[in-house]
Structure 1
Amino acid sequence: MAGEQPETIVEEREEFMVPLTTDPNPTLRTAHFLKPSLASINQQPLFKPPSLSSPLTDFEPGEWPLKLVFTGWIDPQKNWKTWVDQMHPQHQSTWRKAGINEAIMCSTYKTRRNHDLFWGLAERWCPSTNSFIFPWGETTITLEDIIVLGGFSVIGEPVSKPLETTELMKLEENLLKLLTQLKKTLKSCHQEWMKRFMGKGSELEHIAFLFLWLSRYVFGQKFPNTIGGNLLSVAIHLARGTRLALGPAVLASIYRDLSLLKETIIASTELRMDGSDGDILSLTLQAPLRLVQVWAWERFPGLRPEPNAMNHGEPRIARWHGLKRLKIENVRMVLDSAQDCFQWRPYATTVSNWSFPKFYIEKEEWMVVDSYLDQELQSFAQCLRVCELVGIDCIELYLPHRVAMQFGIDQDLPCTVTKSHESPETAWSNYGKPIWNAKLYVPSRLFEGDVTTQYLSWWKQSTWPSQAAFTGVIRQPRSLRRSRRSLWGSTVKKEVDDNAEVPPGFLHKYNMVYPRTSESYLRSSKGKKGDNDGDVPPGFGHRSNLIHQIEKTMQNEAVPRGSEGAAEAANESDVYNTPKMNDNEGQNRSYKAVEIPGLELEARISRLERVIAELKAERLAARLTSITKQ
């Protein structure tokens, strides 16, 4: 309609704002918020009394009667990189057109699994909001992470797009017949599929290549080492250069599997509490969950190994290729005390030989989303919209308005959004709805968002454990806005009440809900329980040489330092892993142990850092004055 105001994805208004990690005097300023917020629809948050207590912290992960199979987190197979290198020169332009070039390159890198970190994150997952709930705030893996870390496109046609010509349908039929024959005669379908097609130099090889890539590295199958016939039409479309929105489908599968894992953990804990000896719950995780671990490494400096140096042109995930996991003595404590060192915008910082996406700009700007806007900026607009993600076999809520600070946008009270329970076609039509002529606010990459005073007040009314439980963990002052955060920050836990409606369904600290009982993912079977020796606790994460040297100088209690131990296994059979059983990564490893008083040392280091920074600034000012006088 003529004269109609354009839609706004981000709303702008004046509010009293405060940093999330501290409680200083509020500042009245112009702030930006993702829709929908409670202020925009005049809705008030509701609070519910706690009704259940959590048994999760009563056990270490190694004590859960749980067996996991990771079919979506498999190392690159032998000769896979060779095949990628052979196909790349000929098909690179097609891959770029289809939006999969970087995603294919990402599949050549290996990410070693860190179970301790993975369980720590899974405990804090809330299926109702598809987010991680920590005492200091709410975070999640978003479409932005899927773009940057996975290389997947979030715009394009749906993955369910049917084949539209007789020629393509006949091609699909012939390949399905071949796949059926191979399944009957071969033990290793992935390897034999590669041997059959690699080096043939035809369009059929290209489709077969993409078919294997989708089945092994994008959408894992129910059974290990199998190829999913439902992905063949997707491979054919991609081989023809059709851009498909793989990103939302990948993220939907990650949300689905994290929720299934959380609910299975609760069920296994209940088994343990009931004393059901011999009962083991089995769960197959098909999503590319390595992206969750890399997401955590990017954002929790104290939990990650030292990143690799990147070569020019490599994808971001190359930073984490092949790195040995760190063993953490108490992952729960590190995650829950990470508020001052959590990296809300890790991709906005400079990394050598890595180019920023176009939506990380130096100066904030309002833009109009239209057909002339760059595809990367269109993708950023898609990352900010509340919607439902349509996967291969699931539909999941996507709620970026709950984690606005991850996009460099301020956080207000988020209103509750519920699943529509519509058909995949309806859900996709809403996701893919054109957003032309919408006003898009793109923040400066150097900006760090704040929260409204009402958000901070609401969050602090939650009922997390009291601060007395963390005696010895000290509060650090927040780093200056727009400056690099300390890598060694540690803080007192916020007192939060998780019985608030936000996150809805999060009825107590670890979201006690009754688990799903889908036969596809969860089954109870008789089995022998594993030995608990050597399980958690491992060591306490990465410590810099600076900390080690100052420890000696101050003559504090020595921190035992162990050898790295034997190399981790990297074969196909390692897809079967449990918190304890069959985990052959780092069995003979020595661990570092850091006690709570050691965190006081980190606070001293943080203060020393600030003093050094001030001295450097004074020295630079003196030099400039000297030059001016000359």
Structure 2
Amino acid sequence: MADLEQTSIIEHREELMVSLSGGNPTLRPAHFLKPSVSAIEDPIFELQNPSLNLSDLPLKVAFKGSRDPQRKWEDWVDRMKSLHQITWKKAGIFEAIITSTYQIRIDTDIVLGLGSRFCSETNTFVFPWGEATVTLEDVLVLGGYSVLGDSVLGTVEIEELGEIDEKLLRVRTEITRGKSRKADQHQWTNRFMNSGSEIEHEAFLVLWLSRHVFPNSFNNVGKHVHHIAIRLARGIKIALAPAVLSRIYRDLRLLKEAIVGSMISRRTNEDGDELGLIDLWAPMHLVQIWGWERFPSLRPIPNLIEHGEPRMARWNKAKRPGIENVGSVIDSAGDSFQWRPFAISEKSWLLYEFYKEREEWVSCTEMDEDLESFARFLRACELVGLDCIEQYLPHRVAMQFGMDQDLPGRVARFNETPEIAWENYTRPIGDAKLYVPSRLFESDVTTRYLKWWIRSNFVQEKNLRKKSHSSEGKKVDNDAPKTKRIKAAKSIAKDEHILESSQCTEPQTPSPLIADNGDGKEMESQIKPGEQPGCNEAVMGGSCQFTENVIESREGIQIDNGISINKNEGEIDIDHIGFPVSELEARISRLENFFAQLKAARARR
């Protein structure tokens, strides 16, 4: 096993950048999350058929981790808040407890629509127009759970705290009248609420954790959260956010597997009349609200937030919009998707410190809790939960944090034991300073990322067409809505040679290319003369032979067919794109190669 080391998070370099929806590339300084690579040869995702009507699947989902509050719960919260508000804030659970009094109506169609697009290998949602996911930022802002603090697996070591655990167990025995029965949540509430018991606060937190955070049995109080409740009651901060997010990722994986199984069952008419049942114990309402915050067309009318209320108050008792085809809305939402909804100022809602008006470089030795949390958002790591360990890969969704997006590199796993995984999560930050972007900055992607993404979509579309033709004569509709970028690209590549290997005949100067060797490490290779970077990969449009001439002058660089580069401003104007997509990709590769040589020449000076 490789040793855990402190690692830097952000890489600052000059790159050829373009909007994810396409447009004119621009050479500018950019900020990327590590690790990134210069080429990816592996196929990326197994996209599901977006046009499939998920409401017709033989599948029933029980959202047991998303419960409405008990009838007396809000009153108990109000009383405990008046006594323990300071302790809750110190422990980082104040907003999380307040949000447990809200009623969030689960919209099954939205959760299924997002779950069907979940990639279990990367723990991200894969849409036709880009990649996104639920992050630690979402769990902090929406759920109110702390990113910082001790592990949820920590034990009660202080003698006084052990005595409190024994008292909780004795009351549990009294309620159940024997150790074989489980403690009912309503009985627990009646036993402790307004009782004035010396352990009422701990009992309150045990119920909160059992019902709203880490439920593992319906309507029962679990002993598995005693040690967490006792520490929280003493103001000890515990990192609940990674534990909650690990459960969400795990259950999204289970949901995706159930959806795929139901699709197969329906297509083959196996057990077509029987419903598959799946219980989800993670707080899946956070996934739904993640969708509401980012897809304007999916959301109901939000509430106005009163001063001091958590962000979740926007959606308390919000009515479901009742959208007929959620999948179509999701797949056509590329232009309207809100990458950073929390950075937009909401009346009476206090922005976190990491939503800055102007970009800043902050010393990593002088960060407050907000900025330290922001650093945790950005770093690939392991998420340690009570009963699972999941990988967290924010560098795949850098635009959600105001960073630019490059090709994501692979990250080695450190999940042999919970202790090793936790050490990975809490390892020191290697950067001397942390870059914090402006909250209104609009991120871009590198041209090689856009090329890779478009190609991957076409590969997946062709695979879907092959599957539809071989599905025992059953017709599968693949005419899903596309974004403008995909439509434009598809109209150019009309031929069927999407998967042909490109053969570049124009000699090129060898240059280093960084690639992923499959074990989480980077390796350096040389591009052979006569090859373009990435031309050994499968690309759109087949051959990429071309004969354009490059003319360099004081004003800039002129490439025929209407592509011009201004050296001073770093602008690239594409006036004519009537050539095949493969040729466009090759030209982008040549531009990237040219700018790499240009930067190297500058460095030698």
Amino acid at match of 1:366: W
* Higher RCO structure (Cα 8 Å, ≥6 apart): 1
Residue in structure 2 matched with residue 549 of structure 1 by the alignment: none
Change (3 A) 1:412 1:424: same
1:210-221 alignment runs, 5 A limit: 210-221=205-216
- Which residue number corresponds to residue 561 of structure 2? none
State how 1:30-41 maps to structure 2 within 5 Å.
30-39=29-38
Aligned to 1:138: 131
Residue of structure 1 equivalent to 2:419: 425
Secondary structure of 2:390's match?
strand
Q: What CA distance in whole angstroms lies between the structure 2 residues aligned with 1:204 and 1:109?
A: 25
Q: Equivalents in 1 of 2:342, 2:246: separation in Å?
A: 22
Q: What are the Cα deviations for residues 482-520 of structure 1, in whole angstroms up to 9, with x where unaligned?
A: xxxxxxxxx85976999xx99x9xxxxxxxxxxxxxxxx
CA contact (8 A) 1:109 1:321 kept: yes
| CA distance 1:58–1:153, shift in 2 (3 Å) | closer
Aligned to 2:599: none
Q: In the superposition, relative to structure 1, how do residues 256 and 448 fare at CA in structure 2: closer, same or farther (>3 Å)? A: same
**8 A contact 2:8–2:429 mirrored in 1:** no
**What's the counterpart of residue 248 of structure 2?**
254
Quote the Cα distance in structure 1 between the aligned partners of 2:416 and 2:225.
23
Give the Å deviation of 1:326. 1.2
- Partners of 2:164 and 2:481 lie apart in 1 by 66
Residue matched to 2:530: none
2:14 counterpart SS class: strand
- Partner of 2:369 in structure 1? 375
Higher alpha-carbon deviation: 400-409 or 429-438:
429-438
Which residue in 2 is equivalent to 1:350? 345
Distance 1:102 1:63 in 2: 38
The one-letter code sitting in structure 1 at the alignment partner of 2:40 is P
Q: Are 2:57 and 1:64 equivalent residues in the alignment?
A: yes
Alignment pair present for 1:28 and 2:33: no
1:85 and 2:78 equivalent?
yes
Quick check: 1:334 aligned with 2:329? yes
> Partner amino acid for 1:115?
T
Which of 152, 172, 177 lines up with 1:159 in the alignment?
152
1:124 aligns with 2:123: no
C-alpha displacement at 1:416, in angstroms? 1.7
Choose from 227, 230, 241 the match for 1:236. Answer: 230
1:508-538 CA-to-partner distances (Å, cap 9, x unmatched) read xxxxxxxxxxxxxxxxxxxxxxxxxxxxxxx
Which residues of structure 1 form unaligned runs of 5+?
A: 1-5, 477-490, 505-630
SS in 2 for 1:16: strand
Is residue 337–residue 492 contact of structure 1 (8 Å, CA) maintained in 2? no
User: What is the CA deviation profile of residues 326-355 of structure 1, one whole-angstrom value per residue up to 9, with x for unaligned ones?
Assistant: 111211111011010000010111111101
* TM-aligned CA deviation for residue 417 of structure 1: 2.3
- CA 1:325/1:235 → structure 2, altered by over 3 Å: closer, same or farther? same
Counterparts of residues 174-323 of structure 1 (less than 5 Å)? 174-183=167-176, 189-221=184-216, 223-277=217-271, 278-323=273-318
- Deviations for 1:197-245, whole angstroms, at most 9, x for unmatched residues? 0112344000000000011111122x31112211100000000110000
CA–CA distance in 2 between the matches of 1:434 and 1:323? 41
Cα distance in 1, alignment partners of residues 431 and 277 from structure 2: 49
Structure 1 pair 348–313 and aligned structure 2 pair: CA distance change class (3 A): same
> Structure 2: where are the runs of 5+ without partners?
1-5, 466-476, 500-514, 519-605
**Which residue identity does 1:227 align to in structure 2?**
V
Structure 1 residue 102: Cα displacement = 0.8
| Kept after mapping to 1: 8 A contact 2:156/2:162 | yes
Aligned partner of 1:113 in structure 2 is 106
Q: Quick check: 2:172–2:183 contact (8 Å CA) kept in 1? A: no
For residues 171 and 151 of structure 1, the distance between their equivalents in structure 2, rounded to whole angstroms, comes to 26
Shift of the 473–26 alpha-carbon distance from structure 1 to 2, 3 Å rule, reads closer
Task: Give distance in 2, aligned partners of 1:340 and 1:492.
Answer: 13
Give 1:413 shift.
Answer: 0.3
Residues 9, 429 of structure 2: 8 Å contact kept = no
Distance 2:211 2:249 in 1: 18
Instruction: For residue 446 of structure 1, report the CA deviation from its aligned partner.
Output: 0.8
- Residues 310, 397 of structure 1: alpha-carbon distance in 2 compared, 3 angstrom cutoff: same
User: Residues 439 and 58 from structure 1, CA distance in 2 versus in 1: closer, same or farther, beyond 3 angstroms?
Assistant: closer
CA contact (8 A) 1:308 1:321 kept: yes
Q: How does 1:2-21 map to 2 (within 5 A)?
A: 8-21=8-21
1:279-319 residue CA offsets vs partner (Å, 9 max, x unmatched): 44322211111111111100000011111111111100000
Equivalences, count: 473
Per-residue CA deviation, residues 394-413 of structure 1 (Å, 9 max, x unaligned), is 00000000000000000000
Distance 2:415 2:230 in 1: 30
Structure-2 change in CA distance of 1:256 and 1:53 (3 Å): closer
After superposition, residues 474-489 of structure 1 pair within 5 angstroms as 475=484
What is the Cα-based RMSD across aligned positions, in Å? 2.8
Q: Secondary structure at the match of 1:283?
A: strand
Summarize the alignment of residues 380-419 of structure 1 with structure 2, pairs less than 5 Å apart.
380-419=374-413
SS at match of 1:251: helix
CA drift of 1:437 comes to: 6.0
Describe the shift of the 1:163–1:299 C-alpha distance in structure 2 as closer, same or farther (beyond 3 A): same
User: Alpha-carbon deviation of 1:452?
Assistant: 0.3
Among 41, 65, 78, the residue aligned to 1:46: 41
Distance 1:18 1:437, change over 3 A: closer
Aligned residue type for 1:294: I
Work out the percentage of aligned pairs sharing the same amino acid: 51
- In structure 1, the residue corresponding to 2:227 is in which secondary structure? helix
In the aligned structure 2, how far is the partner of 1:147 from the partner of 1:38? 29
SS at match of 1:301: coil
Q: Find the aligned partners of 2:80 and 2:235 in 1 and give their Cα distance.
A: 14
Please say which structure displays the higher CA radius of gyration: 2
User: Which residue of 2 is the match for residue 593 of structure 1?
Assistant: none
The residue matched to 2:220 in structure 1 has which SS? Answer: coil
Per the alignment, residue 575 of structure 2 pairs with: none
Query: Are residues 229 and 198 of structure 1, via their aligned partners in 2, closer, same or farther at CA, if it must alter by over 3 Å?
Result: same
Alpha-carbon distance between aligned partners in 2 of 1:183 and 1:71, rounded to the nearest angstrom: 22
The CA distance in 2 between the partners of 1:92 and 1:402, in whole Å, is 37
SS state at 1:25 partner: coil
TM-score (norm 2): 0.73
Cα shift at 1:180: 4.3
Conserved? CA contact 2:111–2:288, under 8 Å = yes
Letter in 2 for 1:8: S
CA separation in 2, counterparts of 1:130 and 1:171? 38
Structure 1 residues 171 and 29: alpha-carbon distance in aligned structure 2, compared to 1, 3 A threshold? same
1:124 is aligned with what amino acid? Answer: R
Residue 362 of structure 1, aligned match among 349, 357, 371: 357
Distance (whole Å) between structure 1 residues aligned to residue 173 and residue 50 of structure 2? 46
Aligned residue for 2:89, secondary structure, equals helix
AA aligned opposite 2:10: V
Asked if the contact 2:294–2:337 (Cα under 8 Å) also holds between the matched residues in 1, the reply is yes
| 8 A Cα contact 1:401 1:414, kept in partner | yes
